[in-house]
Amino acid sequence: MVKVGEVVPDFEADAYFPEKDDIGKLKFSDYKGKWVVLAFYPADFTFVCPTELEELADYYEEFKKEGAEVISVSTDTAYVHKAWHDASPGIKKIKYPMLADPAGKVSRLFGTYIEDEGVSWRATFIIDPDGKVVHMEMHDLSIGRSAKEILRRLRASKYVREHPGMVCPASWEPGKEALEVSLELVGKI
């Protein structure tokens, strides 16, 4: 299982590419040099999942401005992703790739696969341009994520990468003060 601080091994899987309205291979190494947000979810044609994926679609241009690609991942096939995209008004907004993981290989690689159910936990991974995981979050299937918060975490991850020796305090947003790692701050915050 890939963890924070580890480099993601290359993988390849089928995906539905809404911008091209096509199904093809998605190879993780093709995204080297970019930030990647992987958004694992349990299944298409469900309840919470479309609200999350639609919200990610609403913020997609903001992610792209940050040099990031969003990729959603479920254990459905690429054909099911296409059918869902064609059928749902919210999912029709999606322009980012929708990775198909029907055998659960990618979900197992990231430790999100629920063996007894054949689906993935809800999980988010932010991966830096070197392919290293800098953020991971996994939680119960009944709780939806916030695309705005994922974007904030991406921006904080970018900031600390671009500013060595700096860290971002709670709820940090671009333009707010970051902290310099220093013994001078110990016990004073």
What pLDDT, in 10s, does the model give residues 101-112? 999 999 999 999
2, 49, 106, 126: which is the annotated catalytic residue? 49
What pLDDT, in 10s, does the model give residues 56-99? 999 999 999 999 999 999 999 999 999 999 999 999 999 999 99
Q: CB–CB of 84/46 below 8 Å?
A: no
The whole-number pLDDT of residue 180 equals 87
Instruction: Go through the domains of the chain in sequence order and give each one's CATH number.
Output: 12-145 (3.40.30.10)
What pLDDT, in 10s, does the model give residues 175-189? 998 888 887 767 767
Tokens of 170: 């709670």
Query: Could you give the dihedral angle defined by the CA atoms of residues 69, 74, 76 and 77, in that order, rounded to the nearest 10 degrees?
Result: 30
Spatial separation of the C-alpha atoms in residues 137 and 126, rounded to whole Å: 9
- Cα-to-chain-centroid distance, residue 61: 14
Q: CB–CB of 89/58 below 8 Å?
A: no
Specify burial of residue 169 (Cβ count, 10 A radius: 0-12, 13-18, 19+).
exposed
- Concatenated DSSP letters of 19-74: TTTEEEEEEGGGGTTSEEEEEE-S-SSSSHHHHHHHHHHHHHHHHHHTTEEEEEEE
Task: Note if 168 is an active site residue.
Answer: no
